[in-house]
Structures are given as structure tokens and as C-alpha cells.
Amino acid sequence: MVGPPPLQGLKVLEFAGLAPGPYTGLLLADAGAKVLRIDRHTTAGQAVPAPDILTRHKSSIAVDLKSQDGVEFIKELSKTADVIIDPFRPGVLEKLGIGPQILCVINPRLIYGRLTGFRRDGKYAQMAGHDINYLAVSGVLSLLGRSGDKPYPPQNILADFAGGGASLFQGILLAIIAREKSGKGQIVEANMVDGSSHLATFPRQGLKLPYGNHPRGENLLDGGCPYYDTYETKDGKYMAVGALEPHFYAVFIKGLGLSNQKWEKRHSDRASWPEMRLEFETIFKSKTRSEWEKIFDGTDSCCTPVLEYSELEMDNNREGDQRPPVTLRETPCLAISQKGTDPSIHGQGPGIPGGGYSGTFLIPGQGGEEALKDWLGWKKGKDFDTRDGGFILKNKSKL
């Protein structure tokens, strides 16, 4: 029998921020945690929306963190929270009086997750930055790009989400496990420089090995090898080739119609790679992507179509129905797709509007009153109120 999601009952306060912090909250929410986003509220009385579409399964309240009433409200919430997500530069929440040295004393079981771009103790700690900057100073960016060309960042996937948000999520889970043993929470720190560098462990260590010690874009796995690359087809689409091992390479060569020619014995001959690539490019442009799919589907050629999300979203025969990153058979995560109705495969419960393709903005205050009632049994007018749209405690002496 399928049980509830693994983090059901976990209470998370997520301070509104940009991509990596909200992604940590999204991972927790998809696993069943109750995530309440703390949106910024100005003294002028207007809540400032966060430019955030990673809001699935979350609620929001707007709090004026620069007011004493706002600070007291956060302190009160922290007494029963399990996790806090702090996405700001070092010292921001500390200056407001809601840093870990305060909140972890109020609630010794609190797990205080802090996520920064640069290292907290590094030379760039107080500088602004984005994904490209964190990749740059970590050394990872120097590995990415074609031969003879400048380094290229892979959108903001690597530092923001994998190195940052997902790394903090992992740290929070480790702290939850440790709390089961000690009964105490702790500060969890992640940064996108160390996270990205750790993800690059294999290529970084490969710099000292034959498969990766050539200049950028001239190695086995970075576009230098012709049988580990992408190729344009007749209709302007692409096929991806990863036929590294000789037995896979042989199947691939057969599919191209090059069997019993010179290429079988030149698999590891780097000197022949430029000629080999030109041959592959010419052949791939002779057929459409769908024609190549018919040739390579079901084989061990390691040759597959480069699918675009626009077609995945519309084609039920493709692997485009978005699902949780892992499947827990007994306590599955929540569904993230309209099709997510099979607990043993997609997640628990019915799918949600938008699924994995269309995010929705969370309006400041949306679902906040219901969340406070669910978390603490609070009622508006009795335990809390709103002033100019910002949440404040109604009667601190009774809380």
C-alpha cells in the first residue's frame, strides 16, 4: 500500500529569492514538505512579488522584515519550523535579527539552510554574481565550449540549480537524518562555487588523464570526439551520438552504412577524427531525423534524436511527461504532471495544472492564511492580522 510522501509534516520557511533558493524549496515541497514562502513587503504597503515560477505546492505570506513586528512574526514562526531557507548574501538576515544565532536558540531543532553564490569565507563573498560567475571562479566554465572558441555557460542549470539548489537540498536531508540521532538541528551551508566544482569532479580529475588532458573541446566527452557529438539532419534537426565503446561504435557505423570500410579500425585513432567527423556530417544530412530514428531505434548504437521540449510536451509517445527525479515506490513524491496519477510511477495523487512545462507565479499572501491555520492553528483577527498587506502578530503575549 502506498504511503504519504517522505517529507510530509515537515515545515519549511523559504525566504523569497531567485532560482536556486526556490528550487530547494520546490524539491522539499515535491517530497511533501509544507513550504511557506516569506515574501518581501515594503512599508509603503505593497507586497513585492518574487520573480519566481518554482512555486508548486507552496504558500506565501508577505512580511515587512525591516519592521520589528515583521521580525517578531518570523521569530514566532521559527519556533515550530523544521527548516529555513536563506538565499541571501552573508549577513543579510543576521543584520535583521533573524540569523541562525537567534533563531537556532529559539528553536534548537531548527535546520537553518544558507545558500550563497560565492563561498562565505572567500574573496568574492560580498560581491554580486550569477551562474556564469560562479562557474567562472570554480574553474568549471573553463571546461565548457568548443575547440578554439570561448567558454560557454549551459544556461543557469549547472551552478544555480545543480550546484546550488540541489546541493542545499541534499544538505538539508543530511541534517534531518542527523537530527533523528541527536535531536538537534544545525546550520547547513551550500554555495554554488563548491557545488559546481564538486559536480565537475570527473572532468577535473580527467585533466590529468589521457581522456581529458587535451585543450577544451578536443577531448573524448567535450565535443572533440566525432562519435560523441551531435549532427544536423536533412530537416534541420539533430541526432546525438555517444558510441564510445568499440562494440557500440560498430553498431553505429553499421547504421550509417559504413560497415566493412576503413572506420572500424580507426575508432581510437585521434588523427582520423577530423576526417571521420566530416564523413558523419555528410551522411547525417542525407536523411531526416525521423528516418535516422527508424534506423537506430532499438539498437545499441547509442544514437538518439535530440528532442525539444515543445515536441515532448505534445507527443504522448515520447518521454515528455515530467516526473519527480526519483521514484520512491512505497512513499512517492507528489505529482508534478497532469498525468501524474499512478503513485507507483509518476508520484502521488492527481496531476496538477501546468505540470512540468508551465510554472505559475505565487502572489504574495496566496494561501498564507490557510498555511498558518494548518501549521499552528492560527486564525486571522485572533492570532495574527495584516497591516497594509503585511502579516503581523495580533497578540504576542498569547503566542
| 156 and 299 part of one domain | no
| 95 and 187 part of one domain | yes
pLDDT averaged over every residue in the chain:
92
Report the DSSP pairing between strands 83-86 and 11-15: parallel
Residue 142 in any domain: the answer is yes
Tell me the per-residue pLDDT of 84-105, one tens digit each, with 9 for 90 and over. 999 999 999 999 999 999 999 9
Percent of all residues in the chain with a pLDDT value above 70, rounded to a whole number: 96
How many domains does the chain fold into?
2
| 34 and 149 part of one domain | yes
Of the candidates 160, 229, 321, 383, the residue annotated as catalytic is 160
Residue 37 in any domain: the answer is yes
Instruction: Give the contacts of 251 (CB within 8 A, at least 6 positions apart).
Output: 243, 299, 300, 301
Residue 357 in any domain: the answer is yes
Task: Indicate whether 324 pLDDT > 90.
Answer: no
| 257 and 176 part of one domain | no
| 102 and 245 part of one domain | no
Residue 351 in any domain: the answer is yes
Contact 22, 45 (CB under 8 A): no
Alpha carbon 318 to its chain's center: 22
Report the DSSP pairing between strands 58-63 and 34-40: parallel
| 54 and 175 part of one domain | yes
Q: What CATH number corresponds to the domain at position 250? A: 3.30.1540.10
Tell me the per-residue pLDDT of 31-43, one tens digit each, with 9 for 90 and over. 999 999 999 886 6
Given this model, what pLDDT does residue 399 score?
A: 42
Q: List the grid coordinates of 152.
A: 560557454
Given this model, what pLDDT does residue 396 score?
A: 55
Q: Is 229 a catalytic residue?
A: no
Which uninterrupted H or E stretch holds 13? Answer: strand 11-15
Name the least confident of 297-301, 324-328, 371-375: 324-328
Residue 190 in any domain: the answer is yes
| 46 and 134 part of one domain | yes
Tell me the per-residue pLDDT of 141-192, one tens digit each, with 9 for 90 and over. 999 999 999 999 999 999 999 999 999 999 999 999 999 999 999 999 999 9
| 182 and 289 part of one domain | no
Euclidean distance between the first and the last CA atom of the chain, given in angstroms as a whole number: 40
Residue in the block written with cell 569565507: 121
Determine the number of helices (DSSP H) and then strands (DSSP E) in the chain: 13, 11
pLDDT tier at 315 (50, 70, 90 boundaries)?
confident
Tell me the per-residue pLDDT of 371-389, one tens digit each, with 9 for 90 and over. 999 999 999 999 999 888 7
| 157 and 291 part of one domain | no
Tell me the per-residue pLDDT of 212-271, one tens digit each, with 9 for 90 and over. 999 999 999 999 999 999 999 999 999 999 999 999 999 999 999 998 888 888 888 999
Residue 180 in any domain: the answer is yes
Burial of 97 (0-12, 13-18, 19+ CB in 10 A): middle
Percent of all residues in the chain with a pLDDT value above 90, rounded to a whole number: 76
Residue 313 in any domain: the answer is no
Domain that holds residue 15: 11-199+322-398
Could you tell me the sign of the dihedral formed by the alpha carbons of 136, 142, 146, 147, in that order?
A: positive
| 243 and 367 part of one domain | no
Model pTM?
0.93
Instruction: Count the neighbouring beta carbons within 10 Å of the beta carbon of residue 265.
Output: 9
| 82 and 179 part of one domain | yes
Residue 317 in any domain: the answer is no
Task: Indicate whether 397 pLDDT > 50.
Answer: no
* Mean pLDDT to the nearest integer, 125-132: 94
Given this model, what pLDDT does residue 14 score?
A: 97
Tell me the per-residue pLDDT of 52-75, one tens digit each, with 9 for 90 and over. 899 999 999 999 999 999 999 999
